Amino acid sequence: MITINKNYLDLEKSYLFTDIARKVNAFEKANPDKKVIRLGIGDVTLPLPQVCVDALKEGAEEMGNKETFRGYGPEQGYPFLRDIIAKCDFSDRGIDIDADDIFVSDGAKSDTGNILDIFGPNLKVAVGDPVYPVYLDTNIMAGNKDSIIKLPCTAETNFQPVPPSKPVDLIYLCSPNNPTGSVMDHETMQAWVDYALENKSLILFDAAYEAFISDDSPHSIYEVNGAKKCAIEFRSFSKKAGFTGVRCGYTVVPSDLTVTTENGSEIKLRELWNRRQTTKFNGVSYIVQKAAAAVYTPEGEKQCRENIEYYLRNASLIKEALEEVGYEVSGGKNAPYVWLSIPDGHTSWSFFDYLLENANVVTTPGSGFGACGEGYIRISSFGSYEDCVEAVERIKNLKA
Ligand code: MLT
């Protein structure tokens, strides 16, 4: 008899963004004359930086040539990419991360889910509330449903989780935060690392949106003392370089990171992750890794920065325009997401429907990210500038 992973039955029927896409498609079908503006899912709209396009073409040419063709590459990523990441994302910023600690992958979403493969059952897991649904769903899939602790991310906590009073095993942190757009400062991050060291917890730090940081807030958890002993970091080229349709990211598992087993032996998590990757993953394609390496050339850095600035301009436009008409808005600074407190008399979903039906603007209901997201909607700044201008005009007009 075929048995199934019954934990899947504990999940919500479908993934948040799948539900939203279904609603929006139905609305468009019923209203073909309406121009719907999508500021829901955080998907980029600017084309790839030209340096990446050139690198993709060059890589494709190499693959079509007998002398330069490549088959399987290293599962951990090509040295040319791991070395440039170690230099540009870490050592140039004063952080000591070895290229061997970097594992190139097809993105942060996969890795934040797959990482649970290397841990045992019945872990106490802390996640923010609201939270990126992947952390929660993958823990439910892994059977941790009954030991998930939700840490409220409310106005009182600056829309970031704060360390719990009791010890936990795994902690998911995300800064700049998805969905609230809040960014951790050094002090807050240090408090989390101190908590983890004291309680023998492991932090899973999602830095997918770090490229949006324009002040001196930390881009990496390894900027704070002790983090290499208690944190894994996930990075993504999706938002930094517009790779949502290309797929590339990486995970840092420092060699200092160990856990002690029941019999007292110290196990390096990097070795377990390496074992997992070499068995279940054949690496990211050569062509894509070439494009990712191009991001770190001077021209690549410039083109990516221009794209990030474009989305940040959208975010501040949305934030300021909605504040002007009296909405309470946070995020949207050093982050691509604007977190809007909805007017009395609405739930997150009813306000989502209201905006879709009356302004034809797609947002994401805050409650879709967790109970503490009730009363909010998330607005993405990844649309075109013109769409963002029109969307806020339409929303403002509803208030008039
Ligand atoms: C989001 O809208 O939260 C993101 O696009 C999701 C993701 O990056 O997977």
**Cα dihedral 23, 27, 28, 30 sign:** positive
Does ligand 1 have an atom closer than 6 angstroms to the CB of 336?
A: no
Q: Is the same domain home to 274 and 133?
A: yes
Distance 237 CA to ligand 1 centre (A): 13
- Quote the number of domains for the chain: 2
Q: Among residues 251, 268, 297, which one ends one of the domains?
A: 297
Q: Which residue is associated with the tokens 């609603």? A: 23
Cβ 109 under 6 angstroms from ligand 1: yes
Task: Identify the CATH number of the domain in which residue 387 sits.
Answer: 3.90.1150.10
CB 183 within 8 A of CB 221: no
Name the domain boundary from 297, 317, 334: 297
Side chain identity, residue 286: Y
For residues 257 and 282, what is the distance between their CA atoms, to the nearest angstrom? 24
CB within 8 Å of 81: residues ≥ 6 apart: 104, 289, 292, 293
* Angle, in degrees to the nearest 10, between helices 385-399 and 298-324: 10
Residues 168, 42 share a domain: no
- Distance, in Å, from the CA atom of 353 to the CA atom of 20, rounded to the nearest integer, reads 10
Q: 162-179 as b/e, with b when 16 or more CB fall inside 10 Å?
A: bbbeeebbbbbbbbbbbb
Same domain, 312 and 215: no
Bridge partners (DSSP) listed for residue 149: 126
| N residues, the chain | 400
Whether 1 is covered by a domain: the verdict is no
Indicate whether 126 belongs to any domain. Answer: yes
Q: Which amino acid is it at 128?
A: G
Q: Domain check: are 293 and 338 in the same one?
A: no
Among protein residues, the one with the nearest Cα to ligand 1's atom 6 is 42
* β-pair partners for 399: none
Of 44, 178, 364, which is best to mutate to test ligand 1, by the most ligand atoms within 8 angstroms of its C-beta? 178
Q: What residue numbers bound the domain in which 234 lies?
A: 50-297
Q: Are residues 272 and 389 in the same domain?
A: no
- Are β-strands 202-206 and 328-331 bridged in parallel, bridged antiparallel, or unpaired? unpaired
Question: In the numeric block, which tokens belong to residue 42?
Answer: 């955080």
Does residue 178 have its Cβ closer than 6 Å to ligand 1? yes
Contact 315, 112 (CB under 8 A): no
Ligand 1 atom with the smallest distance to the CA of 208 is 8
Are 239 and 312 in the same domain?
no
| pLDDT in single tens digits along all 400 residues of the chain | 999 999 999 998 888 899 999 999 999 999 999 999 999 999 999 999 999 999 999 999 999 999 999 999 999 999 999 999 999 999 999 999 999 999 999 999 999 999 999 999 889 999 999 999 999 999 999 999 999 999 999 999 999 999 999 999 999 999 999 999 999 999 999 999 999 999 999 999 999 999 999 999 999 999 999 999 999 999 999 999 999 999 999 999 999 999 998 899 999 999 999 999 999 999 999 999 999 999 999 999 999 999 999 999 999 999 999 999 999 999 999 999 999 999 899 999 999 999 999 999 999 999 999 999 999 999 999 999 999 999 999 999 997 6
Residues 255 and 304 in one domain: no
| Residue 158 burial by Cβ neighbours in a 10 Å radius (0-12, 13-18, 19+) | middle
Which residues, including other chains, have CB under 8 Å from residue 10's CB and lie 6 or more apart?
140, 145
Shared domain for 243 and 325, answered yes or no, is no
Ligand 1: atom nearest CA of 134 is 9
d(CA 37, CA 56): 30
Task: Look at ligand 1, atom 3, and give the residue with the nearest C-alpha.
Answer: 42
Residue 16 lies in a domain: yes
Q: What is the dihedral of CA 7, 10, 16, 22, to 10 degrees?
A: 100
Pair (140, 247) in one structural domain? yes
The protein residue with its alpha carbon nearest to ligand 1, atom 9, reads 109
CA–CA separation, 186 vs 178, rounded Å?
A: 18
Closest ligand 1 atom to the C-alpha of 244?
A: 8
Question: How many whole angstroms from 400 Cα to the centroid of ligand 1?
Answer: 32
Q: Are residues 99 and 174 in the same domain?
A: yes
Retrieve residue 268's tokens. 């390096």
The whole-number pLDDT of residue 122 equals: 87
**Residue at a domain's end among 297, 324, 351:** 297
Which residue from 19, 43, 110 has its CB within 8 A of the most atoms of ligand 1, so it is best to mutate? 43
351 lies in a domain? Answer: yes
Please state the φ and ψ torsions of residue 292, each to the nearest 5 degrees: -65, -40
How confident is the model at residue 262, as a pLDDT? 86
User: Which DSSP string corresponds to 247-263?
Assistant: --EEEE--TT-EEE-TT
The CATH number of residue 214's host domain is: 3.40.640.10
Are 315 and 287 found together in one domain?
Answer: no
54 in any annotated domain:
yes
Are 86 and 179 part of one and the same domain? Answer: yes
236: which 2 tokens? Answer: 């993504």
User: Residue 305 belongs to what H/E stretch?
Assistant: helix 298-324
Give pLDDT, residue 400.
67
CA neighbours closer than 13 Å in the CB half-sphere of residue 350 = 8
Strands 258-260 and 266-268: antiparallel
